[in-house]
Structure 1
Amino acid sequence: MKFAETTIPPQAGTARPPKSIAASQLAKLVDLGIALSAEHDRSALHQRILKAAREFTNADGGSLYLLNGDESELHFRIMENDTLQRYVVDGNQQEYPFPPVPLYLADGSPNHENIASHVALTGETINIVDAYAADGFDFSGTRRFDAATGYRSQSFLTVPLKSARGRVLGVLQLINARREDGTVIPFDPMIEPLITALTSQSAVALENRRLLQSQRDLIDSFVRILAQGIDAKSPHTGAHCERVPVLAKMLAQAAVDQKNGPFADFSLSEQEWYELDLAAWLHDIGKIVTPEHVVEKATKLETIHNRIHEVRTRFEVLLRDAEIDMLRRQLAGEDQAICEADFAARRDELRAQFELVAQSNIGSENLDLSTIVAIRDIATQTWQRNFDRTAGLSWAESSRMTSEEAAILSQPGAEPLLSDRQDQVYNHVNNGEIYNLSIPRGTLTPEERTIINDHVVLTQDMLEQLPFPPGLRNVPGIAGNHHEKMDGSGYPRGLRGEDMGALEKIMVIADIFEALTAVDRPYKKPKMLSECIDILGRMRDDNKIDSDLFELFLTSGAYREYGDTYLRPDQRDDVDIRHYLRNA
């Protein structure tokens, strides 16, 4: 594209007065607009804006201010000055030069005393030849700055950054235009249209970035609300979705920081970091539809509540029956000592039986076949029910009985001490008492474990329906593969190590370690840090988790850093990591 030259008559004493706005300047402005639109880094964008404005005007220095969220103040973002050899950005507390500029005074009136706030309020460009001789604006702050630095602020060009809709987003202030020999001169008014065009492009770029950032903030907030909602479903797994991202990023950072070893060439772009963060927060999103009583199942008989209390009541009934039988026999004339001995034997038997049932209900130990047989023998005992068992039921519970069953259950009758009734099987789960008490290990039946495992499938299905942009296409895989294993024994896809990327393997370790170290699980006691590392070590030896990442987790100290922050003091014991390093 060829740009026509626009002739501008020179003005005496102005900064490099252009004989014309050359096609090269216009081309540079166009190129700059493209570059500004493509820049996603906030600090780099601010730097580009200020640098371009200074180059166009040959300004010695300049500052960029942007309006805060409620548009009540101008906040400093960046300052450059060649003479003072200073380059300062916001966030550098040691060199932070300027406080926010209020747009309104204490009485609520507009602040037209400060030149920057005036420009922000009016949207007008202000060109000051000499700040020390200017009327109408308060330059006392400038004078104090000059006195402290030995600088001499003279010419000022203060320009609003207006969006395409005319909204002022900030203010660009240039200081001390210069000739080629460095002499300070006023800013040429004829350069103002070029700077206005530049600030307009800058405002568009800033507004686009703000819109993108606001969309990202909305996504992040939505993701965190979902994760918090999942954690809030169960007080026993609370904060899991918050802590897994912490662990995942710790381990990923350790891989990025490694200079020698298997991760010496490993790096993550800003977009890949964001992918990992989103995936870690969303890795259990499928649990949003997992029943709470399955997630929280602390004992084998637990559904909405622990049914061991109902079972204990039946044992109490049998004990009362035994006592009544003893008293009746005595009233009938039988020998008192024999009656009491029989009652004592029955009482001891019931107590032993209930103790076995109660201990089996906890699920902390492997259940052997003899115990399962004993539970089934105990279940055959009967107790007398005298009330209608169909009374007070919900429509759904009543519908699980046939009319014949309901007719029988409405009358008094004998019932087994423990049972597996047909009406206890619903929603693909068998809640039968004998069936659940016979679980060999843990508290979950095979059906319930499938429901728990299915949260990963649901996570993948839900995330794959979301229109992730190209830079985030890996989120469903990173989030949904956190139960896969290196040897292919994981679920739901049975992936092997070679099928997974580094971030997926990081998620596997982060999810396992958080679950091992958690103190809020109802089905297990809190483990010591050394126990958790030992379990991970055995999983490494069994080719369940990545060996290089496990050793990096230890040698980087990430396990200790996490433990010191999130584990209870009584969990933080010493760990001899040399025991787990293969080349130690």
Structure 2
Amino acid sequence: MAADQLSKLVDLGIALSAEHDRSALHQKILQAARDFTNADGGSLYLINENERELHFRIMVNDTLNRFVVAGDQQQYPFPPLPLYLPDGTPNHQNIASYVALTGEPINIVDAYAAEGFDFSGTRRFDAAAGYRSQSFLTVPLKSARGRVIGVLQLINARRDDGSVIAFDPMIEPLVMALASQSAVALENRRLLQSQRDLIDSFVRILAQGIDAKSPHTGAHCERVPVLAKMLAQAAVDQKSGPFGSFSLSDQEWYELDLAAWLHDIGKIVTPEHVVEKATKLETIHNRIHEIRTRFEVMLRDAEIDMLRRQLAGEDKARCEADFETCRADLQRQFGLVAQSNIGTENIDLTTVTVIREIAGQSWQRNFDRTAGLSWAESSRISPEEAVILAQPGIEPLLSDRQDQVYNHANNGEIYNLSIPRGTLTPEERAIINDHVVITQDMLAQLPFPVGLHNVPAIAGNHHEKMDGSGYPRGLTGDQMGTLEKIMVIADIFEALTAVDRPYKKPKMLSECIEILGAMRDQGKIDSNLFELFLTSGAYRDYGDTYLKPGQCDAVDVNRYLRAA
């Protein structure tokens, strides 16, 4: 018999160490203790983090046919048991708190006849439930370091015929061994959960830091996980069709969540002025103000020239007419430069040619252009050039200077104003695109445990396209998993619907779906996932929660669905 019990204890230890679900672990511990002692019922309590209270976790009673777990106590509430009385003295009145504080097991033959403990609560429970609590065995759950982390309480040991007896003192060492194994399993589970909570918190802090770098990308790292999990849940819920057999384990859900939060971690090194570049001339600030000042100087120079000509005896009307013509030309030219700077419209070769003609005009500079520069700025100017720039001189209205090319970017004014579409130069677009490479490099250095090995791929491939036109690896659809394809759609849709981007106006929901539909037709996003996104209503659920009410217009889903 003893050998059989020892074998069961060993098997139980293995089972407890393998159990990762907290609720299931609690059930196994209590059930094993009841099996060893043939107890009618039992309860499990754990000490809270500040070590001031015992918190109820699970209660089972065969006679009363009750099974209650923490969080489901509407009918049978179990308030925390204080370990200390209001005056700060140890609470030795309650048997569970006494065991938790002393670490000593207590075996009570009959609660109603026992002295030294307050069983008034037990009597009230019995009276209300029509039950008779008699024998109690209460043991501490001690961790490997000897710290009590909880209490296991068994009620009413039974004979085979069901009659209640006292708990056999001979069984106490076995129950204590079980309690010790249970405590180790619970402590390990708690440590694992603490590590997971730390990782989750760290990941979210990183993501929030990236979002906080730019108010114009606010909450992107926070909302992409929401979208990704919405679409993944829709795939899991589909019982037939392309995703009829698709499912995710708890570990795979966690993998997706981590990857979604980490997908833009590379942006931590992306310069803010590139991410936030709202106009073509923007670096740290919008340089259109400098150019406007030059136009102002040229207009004043023209006005001064008009007055000088009049003083020299030229015809006043002719001088004023020439000045008005100059004024109109400068205003028209600045208007073209200013409009081109915004980047909302594509510009053609003709416009670029006109910009270069405007740039060819000159203005008089009277102050030292090398004064007040930082060391880095000064280092980009040669000594010979610095001597020239220190003197007054004639400069072009717009320029592409050599000192404007640095840090892998060309900040030349003509070069930037000539961007055909949007506000980013090819170099700046490469800098932004590099965040994916940096994301992959950073995540590749992390020792992800078994079960999380796919995080770098799920996070790092969110700019890939099904037709191989994405970056940085140029993967095709058959080289990507479902979760990676989900991330692609989630990232695109969040960016399309965002209301806080400086380079575009907020789009209507129908416009965003139209763009996604065009990308599907071009073979850039997964067609099945796109249709699932629509038919599941995930796009609408997200819009109702995160978009402005004015954005959520009607979408004709049927026009995007292909015939089966």
Q: TM-score, normalised by structure 2?
A: 0.99
Of the candidates 41, 45, 64, which is equivalent to residue 44 of structure 2? 64
Q: Is the 8 A contact 1:88 1:95 kept in 2?
A: no
Counterpart of 2:122 in 1: which secondary structure? Answer: helix
Partner of 1:297, secondary structure, is coil
1:359 match: 339
Confirm whether residue 151 of structure 1 aligns to residue 131 of structure 2. yes
How far apart are residue 148 of structure 1 and its match?
A: 2.2
CA distance in 1, matches of 2:73, 2:531: 38
Counterpart position of 1:14:
none
Paired position in structure 1 for 2:264: 284
CA–CA separation in structure 1 for the residues paired with 2:210 and 2:219: 9
Equivalence for 1:223: 203
Moved more, 288-297 or 86-95: 86-95
Q: Which residue of 1 aligns with 2:249?
A: 269
Correspondent of 2:543 among 563, 578, 581: 563
In the TM superposition, what is the alpha-carbon distance from 1:294 to its structure 2 partner?
0.7
Distance in 2 (CA, whole Å) between partners of 1:106 and 1:335 is: 102
The residue aligned with 2:495 is 515
| Partner Cα distance (1:269, 1:223) in 2 | 21
CA deviation profile, 1:341-369 (whole Å, cap 9, x unmatched): 21111111111111110110011111111
Retained in 2: the 8 A contact 1:323–1:343?
Answer: yes
CA distance in 2, matches of 1:145, 1:387: 92
Q: 2:395 matched to 1:408?
A: no
For residues 93 and 231 of structure 1, the distance between their equivalents in structure 2, rounded to whole angstroms, comes to 40
- Tell me the residue number matched to 1:12: none
1:532 maps to which of 507, 512, 521 = 512
- How far has the Cα of 1:335 moved from its partner? 2.1
Q: Matched residues in 1 for 2:448 and 2:75: separation?
A: 40
Distance 1:430 1:182 in 2: 87
Q: Any idea what SS the aligned residue of 1:470 has? A: coil
Aligned counterpart, 2:477: 497
- Give the direction of change, closer, same or farther, for the CA distance of 1:583–1:96 in structure 2 (3 Å limit): farther
Match of 1:462 among 436, 442, 451: 442
Q: Distance in 1 between matches of 2:118 and 2:515?
A: 69
Match of 1:544 in 2: 524
1:438 partner letter: S
Q: Secondary structure at the match of 1:364?
A: coil
**Mapping of 1:359-378 within 5 angstroms?**
359-378=339-358
TM superposition shift of 1:93? 4.2
Q: Is the 8 A contact 1:299 1:443 kept in 2?
A: yes
Of residues 55, 62, 65 in structure 2, which corresponds to 1:85?
Answer: 65
Are 2:81 and 1:101 equivalent residues in the alignment?
yes
Residues 89, 96 of structure 1: 8 Å contact kept: no
Do 1:400 and 1:423's aligned partners in 2 also have CA atoms closer than 8 Å?
yes
1:9 alignment partner in structure 2:
none
Question: How many residue pairs were aligned?
Answer: 564
Aligned CA distance change for structure 1 residues 549 and 93 (closer, same or farther; 3 Å): farther
Q: Which aligned pairs between 1:88-167 and structure 2 lie closer than 5 A?
A: 88-167=68-147
Contact in 2 for aligned 1:90/1:96 (Cα 8 Å): no
In the aligned structure 2, how far is the partner of 1:370 from the partner of 1:50? 81
Partner of 2:377: 397
2:23 is equivalent to residue 23 of structure 1: no
Any idea what SS the aligned residue of 1:466 has?
coil
2-side partners of 1:427 and 1:44: how far apart? 56
Q: Distance in 1 between matches of 2:59 and 2:532?
A: 41
Matched residue SS, 1:236: helix
1:331 and 1:568 map into 2 onto residues whose CA distance is: 62
Alignment check: 8 A CA contact 1:57 1:187 kept: yes
- Counterpart pick for 2:35 among 49, 55, 63: 55
Per-residue CA deviation, residues 141-170 of structure 1 (Å, 9 max, x unaligned), is 222222222222111111100012110010
Give the 3-state SS of the residue equivalent to 2:215 in structure 1. coil
Q: Structure 1 residue 477 and structure 2 residue 478: aligned?
A: no
* C-alpha distance in 2 between matches for 1:328 and 1:141: 105
Distance 1:519 1:93 in 2: 43
Distance 1:496 1:555 in 2: 25
Q: 1:93 to 1:545 in 2, by over 3 A?
A: farther
Residue in 2 aligned with 1:244?
224
Question: Is 1:309 aligned with 2:289?
Answer: yes
Separation in structure 2 between the aligned mates of residue 574 and residue 144 of structure 1, nearest angstrom: 60
CA distance in 2, matches of 1:360, 1:117: 75
Distance 1:121 1:331 in 2: 103
Q: Deviations over 1:249-299 (max 9, x none)?
A: 111111111111111100011111111111101101111111111111111
**What is the rounded CA distance, in whole Å, between the counterparts of 1:97 and 1:128 in structure 2?**
24
The one-letter amino acid paired with 1:66 is L
Counterpart selection for 1:40 from 16, 20, 38: 20
Contact 1:120 1:171 in 2 (8 A): yes
Gaps of 5+ in 2: none
**Paired residues for 1:184-263 under 5 Å:** 184-263=164-243
Q: Deviations over 1:186-219 (max 9, x none)?
A: 1111111100000000000011111111111111
1:298 aligns with 2:273: no
Amino acid aligned to 1:508: V
Distance in 2 separating the partners of 1:561 and 1:152: 53
Shift of 1:96: 4.8
- In the alignment, the residues of structure 2 paired with residue 376 and residue 250 of structure 1 have an alpha-carbon distance, to the nearest angstrom, of 50
Q: Which residue of 1 aligns with 2:424?
A: 444
Amino acid in structure 1 at the alignment position of 2:314: E
Partner of 1:340: 320
CA distance in 2, matches of 1:235, 1:386: 39
The 3-state SS of whatever aligns with 2:231 is helix
Match in the other structure for 1:10: none
Q: Percent identity?
A: 85
Q: TM-score, normalised by structure 1?
A: 0.95
**Cα contact 1:78–1:89 (8 A) shared by 2:** yes
Counterpart CA distance in 2 for 1:207 and 1:574 is 53
Q: Answer yes or no: is the 8 Å Cα contact 1:126–1:159 preserved in 2.
A: yes
SS of equivalent residue, structure 1 residue 262: helix
- Per-residue CA deviations over 1:29-66 (Å, capped at 9, x if unaligned) read 00000110111110110000000000001111111011
Tell me which moved more, 428-437 or 209-218: 209-218
Does 2:55 correspond to 1:75?
A: yes
Task: Classify the secondary structure of the residue corresponding to 2:68.
Answer: strand
Distance in 2, Cα, partners of 1:41 & 1:304: 51
